Chain A
Amino acid sequence: SQTIHQWPATLVQPVGSPLSLECTVEGTSNPNLYWYRQAAGRGLQLLFYSVGIGQISSEVPQNLSASRPQDRQFILSSKKLLLSDSGFYLCAVRPEIWGQSYNEQFFGPGTRLTVL
């Protein structure tokens, strides 16, 4: 089965500072990868998804960007954080194992970001 690593687990950053959150996946190759954000008391919002290296689709216009430099690495970045960027950031994977694509998404442990 696949394992999803996210770091850091928690982060406190000042407004205007840069951001880099990393997600790495084990146990699958050529997965679809996703970044979600959950603001306090809200549902999950899909931010980006990627079907392959260098391929990024953005779901909502925002202050954030994503990159996929390697097959199992997905990075969420910002040049200047806003207060509204605070939230719980989740990386998810839709795995492909032994050539079979799975419909389910599996989520990492998340990064809790507080922008002050």
Chain B
Amino acid sequence: DAKTTQPTSMDCAEGRAANLPCNHSTISGNEYVYWYRQIHSQGPQYIIHGLKNNETNEMASLIITEDRKSSTLILPHATLRDTAVYYCIVNPSGNQFYFGTGTSLTVIP
């Protein structure tokens, strides 16, 4: 019952910025946007989350549009180790996360 839509797959050249889009047109005012990624055969890894403002940490930047109906996760300098499935989730509380199928990002040498 994911409330987000993401492209199925994307490629990115190593060293370039990877921009992963997510649409969440029905997002409620109290729902955060979370991003996780899952490298093959491992558990998902938290990346970043935000409510209204753009956020940046050591892993990535999160750009949320002013109407909050979409967001973009930016990996500024993609490496081969960033190859993974990236999940965008909206949730008000951090409970009951519903993961969709995500975007499979392949970083190409």
Q: Using a CB–CB distance below 8 Å, which chain A residues touch chain B?
A: 32, 34, 36, 42-46, 49, 59, 88, 90, 92, 94, 101-110, 112
CB-based A-B contact count at 8 angstroms? 55
* Residue in B2, B44, B95, B99 whose CB lies within 8 Å of A32: B95
Residue of A nearest to B48 (CB): A104
> Which of A42, A94, A110 contacts B95, CB < 8 Å?
A94
B81 to chain A, nearest CB (A): 17
In angstroms, Cα B46 to Cα A88, docked, is: 18
Further contacts, 6 of them, CB under 8 A, given A44-B44, A107-B43: A43-B102, A46-B99, A49-B95, A92-B44, A94-B94, A106-B46
Q: Is the CB of A105 within 8 A of B94?
A: yes
For chain B, the bracket of interface size reads 20 to 34
Q: Which of B32, B94, B99 contacts A43 (CB 8 A)?
A: B99
Indicate if the CB atoms of A107 and B96 lie closer than 8 Å.
no
Give which listed residue, A49, A94, A107, contacts B44 with CB less than 8 A.
A107
- Determine how close the nearest CB of chain B comes to the CB of A25; give it in whole angstroms: 13
- What are the residues of chain A within 8 A of B44 when measuring CB–CB? 44, 90, 92, 107
Nearest CB in chain B to that of A36: its residue: B99
Known: A43-B101, A94-B94, A102-B94. Is A109-B42 also a contact (CB below 8 A)? yes
Q: Is the CB of B96 within 8 A of A49?
A: yes
**What CA separation (Å) do A85 and B97 show in the bound complex?**
20
**Given A105-B46, A107-B43, A110-B43, A44-B94 contact (CB < 8 Å):** no
- Determine the distance from Cα of A42 to Cα of B34 in the docked complex, in whole angstroms: 19
CB distance from A58 to the nearest CB of B (A): 12
Give every chain B residue within 8 A of A108 (Cβ-Cβ).
43
**B59 nearest CB across to chain A (Å):** 12
A54 to B44, CA, bound (A): 26
Q: Which of B19-67 contact A (CB under 8 A)?
A: 32, 34, 41-46, 49
